[in-house]
C-alpha cells in the first residue's frame, strides 16, 4: 500500500544512516528512517557476559533475532552451510537503532592519509600486495574528509588525547573531551613503549570522559564493548543525531521494518522502497531519494535484491562489482603474562595505543594500529585469552585462572586488509529470510599479504609487551578465512570509473540519479584502524552534499 511521498527514505539506523537523515532533516527535508531492529535504551544494558554483541553464547541482545534471519556461509573448502546469527560465519554486526554504535567499543580513529592512497603509496614498493587483489586509491583524500572527521568528533562526541601521535594526518581542532584517567595497564604499557622509542598516547573514543551533550561521563564498569552503556556515556547515533533529527519534526523513525527492495522506474531511478513492518504487512514508501545504509553485507544484499529491466543483476551491479571486496579486519597481536597484577577493573579497558606500525613497515603494504584490549570478562578470558600451554580444565586450570586473570595484558590491532575481488556477498539462490527475501551468501578468503602484515604487527605487539615487563608472551595469529563482522566494508566501492566501482565520490550509485549507498560498503580499503569515525565522516559529507544539491519537493 503506497504511503505519502517523502523527500528521502534512509534504510538502516546504524553508524551512517542517521547522520544522513539528520543532515537532511535539518535542511528541511521530510525523511523516513527505516530500521530492521528495535530501539533499545540504556535500561536494556543487562551486563550479561554470555549474551552480548561480542559473546552470543546465549544469543545477541541487539539483533538480529536468532530465527528467521539466516545467511549462507561458504568456507575455504567450498563447503556451504546455513548459519544463524550467533553461529560462526554469520559475520554479524547488530540490527537495532544505533546499529553497532549502541554496543561498540567506540574507538574513534581517523584513517591515516596513506590509507586513502594505498596504490600510490605501495604499487612500486610492494608489488605482491597487488597480485590477485583490488588494492586501490580512494577517489577522495584525507583532506577531503578532514572537516567531517572534525564534525563527527564534536557532534557525536570523542574523548582522548591524540596530541602524542606524530603519525596522524593534519587536524584543525583538538578532541572535545580529555581522555579518561589512565588504567594500570596504560601506565605499564606506556613505559614499555617509551623504552622502545615508540609513541604511545590515549585512544580517541566516542565515549564521554566528562559530561557532554547533556549526558554523563563513563562510570568505568567492565561491561563496555558489546553492551549498551548503562549510564548512556557511550556516544552512538541513537543518543545524538537521531534525537536531534527527530526534534526537528522532519524525521520519522520506523523500527522493525525490513526493506524488501528499492522500487525502480523505467529510467533506472528509484521511486521508493517496499518494506515489511513488524506484523509482516507490506508497504510502499515513495521517496525522491533513497539512501542505503545497512552495513556492507546487508547493503549489498539489498542492491542485489532490487532488480528491474535495466538492472537484471541488481541495482548498481551492471559491471558485477556489488558485493565484491568484502573486508573487515584481521585482528592479530599478543598476550603478555606479568608477575605483578596489571588489572584494575577500570573500564572500558582499552586506553593506550601506538600508530608507529600503521605504515612504513619494511616490505609490507600497510600495518596496524596497536592498542591494549577492552576488559576481558572472565568467560571471555577462559575461552579465548588463556595461555595455550595452560591446562584447559581440572585443578591446574583453576589454579591458572586464579593466578593469571589479573596478570595478562592483551595487545592487538586491526590489520590493513588487502581487498580481494572474490571475497564477496551474493544472493543465495535457495535460502530466504522470514519475509521470503533471498539472503546474503558470504564467501572468499584473506589475501596472503594481509596475513603477512598481521604476522609482523603481532610480533611488534609481542615486543611491546616484553619491553613492558611481560614474563611470557604468546601470539594471536590470523586465520585464512574471509573477514567481515563488525568492521565489514568494501562491497559497494567508491570510485570515479563506473566500470570498477559502484558509487561515485559522493556515494551516489553510478547508474542512478537518486540512490545513495552511505556506510562502510563504499570503503575502497578499510584502513589500519577501527572504521566507525570514517563511516560517520563519509555520512556527514554525503549528507551535507545531498541536502545542498538535491531537489526536495
Partner 1 sequence: MAAAAGCARRPAPAAGYRFLTQAEVETLGAWVDTLIPPDEDPGARDAGVVRYIDLQLTRWFRRHQSEYREALAHIDRWARSRAGRGFAGLPLDAREEMLSLMEQGEADRAWFPDGGKAAFELVLAHAMQGFYGNPRHGGNRGYASWKMIGVPPMPVRGREHYEAERTFPEKT
Which residues sit at the interface with partner 1, rule CB under 8 A? 46-50, 57-59, 181, 184, 219-223, 230-231, 341, 343-346, 377-379, 381-383, 392-395, 397-398, 401-402, 405-406
**Which one, of 232, 231, 251, 252, lies nearest residue 240 by Cα?**
232
Q: Are the beta carbons of 110 and 533 closer than 8 angstroms?
A: yes
Question: Could you give the 3-state DSSP secondary structure of residue 264?
Answer: strand
- H or E element at residue 488: none
Sequence-distant (≥ 6) Cβ neighbours of residue 432 within 8 angstroms: 438, 439
- When computed from its CA atoms, the radius of gyration of the chain, rounded to whole angstroms, is 22
The label of the residue with cell 500500500 reads 1
Grid coordinates in use for 363?
Answer: 616490505
**Which one, of 170, 178, 179, 176, lies nearest residue 154 by Cα?**
176
Orientation of helix 532-549 relative to helix 17-26, angle to 10°: 30
- Cβ 191 to partner 1, closest distance in Å? 16
- Cβ 161 to partner 1, closest distance in Å? 17
Beta bridge pairs of residue 441: 72, 426
Alpha carbon distance 476, 458 (integer Å): 7
The label of the residue with cell 556506510 reads 519
Nearest residue (CB) to partner 1, 76 versus 219: 219
Alpha carbon distance 247, 22 (integer Å): 10
Q: By CB neighbour count within 10 A (0-12 exposed, 13-18 middle, 19+ buried), where does 284 fall?
A: middle
Alpha carbon distance 263, 404 (integer Å): 57
- Cβ 255 to partner 1, closest distance in Å? 25
- Cβ 398 to partner 1, closest distance in Å? 6
Question: Could you give the 3-state DSSP secondary structure of residue 148?
Answer: helix
Nearest residue (CB) to partner 1, 103 versus 423: 103
- Cβ 379 to partner 1, closest distance in Å? 4
- Cβ 221 to partner 1, closest distance in Å? 5
Q: Pseudo-torsion of CA 40, 46, 48, 54, nearest 10°? A: 20
- Cβ 252 to partner 1, closest distance in Å? 32
Q: Look at the chain and count its residues.
A: 553
Nearest residue (CB) to partner 1, 345 versus 387: 345
Alpha carbon distance 236, 229 (integer Å): 10
**Which one, of 299, 295, 271, lies nearest residue 285 by Cα?**
271
- Cβ 553 to partner 1, closest distance in Å? 46
Buried b vs exposed e over 220-256: b needs ≥16 C-beta within 10 Å? bbbbbbbbbbbebbbbbbbbbbbbbbbeeebbbbbbb
Nearest residue (CB) to partner 1, 76 versus 341: 341
Nearest residue (CB) to partner 1, 5 versus 187: 187
- Cβ 59 to partner 1, closest distance in Å? 6
- Cβ 383 to partner 1, closest distance in Å? 6
- Cβ 513 to partner 1, closest distance in Å? 48
Beta bridge pairs of residue 413: 332
Q: Are the beta carbons of 519 and 299 closer than 8 angstroms?
A: yes
Sequence-distant (≥ 6) Cβ neighbours of residue 289 within 8 angstroms: 7, 8, 9, 270, 514, 515, 516, 546, 550
Nearest residue (CB) to partner 1, 2 versus 378: 378
Residue 504: count other Cβ atoms within 10 Å of its Cβ. Answer: 17
Nearest residue (CB) to partner 1, 438 versus 469: 469
Nearest residue (CB) to partner 1, 309 versus 393: 393
Residue 401: count other Cβ atoms within 10 Å of its Cβ. Answer: 14
Nearest residue (CB) to partner 1, 221 versus 475: 221
Q: Are the beta carbons of 74 and 427 closer than 8 angstroms?
A: no
Nearest residue (CB) to partner 1, 184 versus 545: 184
Nearest residue (CB) to partner 1, 143 versus 345: 345
- Cβ 50 to partner 1, closest distance in Å? 4
Nearest residue (CB) to partner 1, 281 versus 403: 403
- Cβ 48 to partner 1, closest distance in Å? 5
DSSP state of 437: P
Nearest residue (CB) to partner 1, 3 versus 219: 219
Amino acid at each position: 500500500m503506497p504511503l505519502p511521498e517523502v523527500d528521502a527514505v534512509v534504510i538502516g539506523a546504524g553508524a551512517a544512516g542517521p547522520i544522513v537523515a539528520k543532515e537532511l532533516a535539518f535542511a528541511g527535508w521530510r525523511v523516513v528512517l527505516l530500521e530492521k531492529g528495535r530501539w533499545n535504551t540504556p535500561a536494556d544494558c543487562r551486563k550479561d557476559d554470555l549474551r552480548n554483541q561480542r559473546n552470543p553464547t546465549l544469543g545477541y541482545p541487539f539483533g538480529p533475532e536468532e530465527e528467521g534471519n539466516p545467511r549462507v556461509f561458504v568456507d575455504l573448502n567450498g563447503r556451504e552451510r546455513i548459519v544463524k546469527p550467533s553461529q560462526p560465519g554469520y559475520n554479524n554486526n547488530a540490527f537495532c537503532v544505533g546499529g553497532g554504535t549502541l554496543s561498540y567499543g567506540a574507538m574513534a580513529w581517523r584513517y591515516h592519509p596513506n590509507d586513502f592512497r594505498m596504490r600510490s603509496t605501495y604499487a612500486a614498493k610492494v608489488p605482491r600486495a597487488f597480485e590477485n587483489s583490488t588494492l586501490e586509491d580512494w577517489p577522495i583524500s584525507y583532506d577531503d574528509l578532514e572537516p567531517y572527521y572534525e564534525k563527527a568528533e564534536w557532534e557525536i562526541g570523542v574523548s582522548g588525547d591524540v596530541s602524542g601521535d606524530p603519525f596522524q594526518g593534519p587536524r584543525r581542532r583538538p578532541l572535545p573531551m580529555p581522555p579518561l584517567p589512565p588504567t594500570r595497564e596504560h601506565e605499564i604499557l606506556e613505559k614499555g613503549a617509551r623504552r622502545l622509542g615508540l609513541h604511545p598516547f590515549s585512544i580517541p573514543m566516542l565515549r564521554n570522559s566528562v559530561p557532554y551533550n547533556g549526558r554523563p561521563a563513563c562510570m568505568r564498569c567492565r561491561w563496555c564493548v558489546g553492551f549498551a552503556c548503562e549510564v548512556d556515556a557511550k556516544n552512538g547515533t541513537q543518543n545524538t543525531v537521531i534525537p536531534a533529527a527527530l526534534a526537528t519534526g522532519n524525521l520519522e523513525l520506523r523500527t522493525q521494518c525490513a526493506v524488501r527492495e528499492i522500487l525502480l522506474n523505467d529510467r533506472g531511478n528509484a521511486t521508493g522502497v517496499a518494506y515489511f513492518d513488524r506484523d509482516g504487512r507490506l508497504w510502499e514508501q515513495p521517496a525522491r531519494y533513497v539512501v542505503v545504509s545497512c552495513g556492507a553485507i546487508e547493503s549489498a544484499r539489498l542492491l542485489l535484491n532490487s532488480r528491474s529491466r535495466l538492472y537484471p543483476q541488481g541495482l548498481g551491479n551492471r559491471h558485477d562489482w556489488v558485493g565484491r571486496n568484502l573486508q573487515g579486519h584481521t585482528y592479530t597481536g599478543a598476550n603478555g603474562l606479568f608477575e605483578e597484577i596489571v588489572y584494575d577493573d577500570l573500564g572500558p579497558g582499552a586506553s593506550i595505543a601506538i600508530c608507529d606500525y600503521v605504515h612504513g613497515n619494511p616490505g609490507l603494504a600497510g600495518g596496524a594500529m596497536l592498542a591494549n584490549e577492552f576488559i576481558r570478562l572472565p568467560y571471555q578470558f577462559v575461552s579465548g585469552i588463556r595461555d595455550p600451554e595452560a591446562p584447559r580444565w581440572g585443578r591446574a586450570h583453576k589454579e591458572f585462572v586464579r593466578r593469571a586473570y589479573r596478570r595478562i595484558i592483551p595487545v592487538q590491532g586491526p590489520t590493513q586488509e588487502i581487498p580481494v575481488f572474490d571475497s564477496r556477498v551474493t544472493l543465495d539462490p535457495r535460502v530466504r529470510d522470514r519475509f521470503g527475501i533471498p539472503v546474503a551468501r558470504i564467501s572468499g578468503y584473506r589475501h596472503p599479504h594481509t596475513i603477512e602484515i598481521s604476522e609482523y604487527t603481532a610480533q611488534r605487539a609481542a615486543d611491546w609487551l616484553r619491553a613492558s615487563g611481560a614474563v611470557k608472551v604468546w601470539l594471536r595469529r590470523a586465520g585464512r578465512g574471509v573477514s567481515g563482522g563488525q568492521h565489514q566494508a568494501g562491497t559497494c566501492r567508491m570510485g570515479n570509473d563506473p566500470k570498477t566501482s559502484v558509487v561515485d565520490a559522493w556515494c551516489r550509485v553510478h547508474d542512478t540519479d537518486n540512490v545513495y549507498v552511505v556506510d562502510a560498503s563504499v570503503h575502497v580499503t578499510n584502513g589500519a584502524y577501527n572504521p566507525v569515525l570514517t563511516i560517520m565522516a563519509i555520512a556527514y559529507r554525503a549528507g551535507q552534499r545531498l541536502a545542498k544539491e538535491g531537489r526536495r519537493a
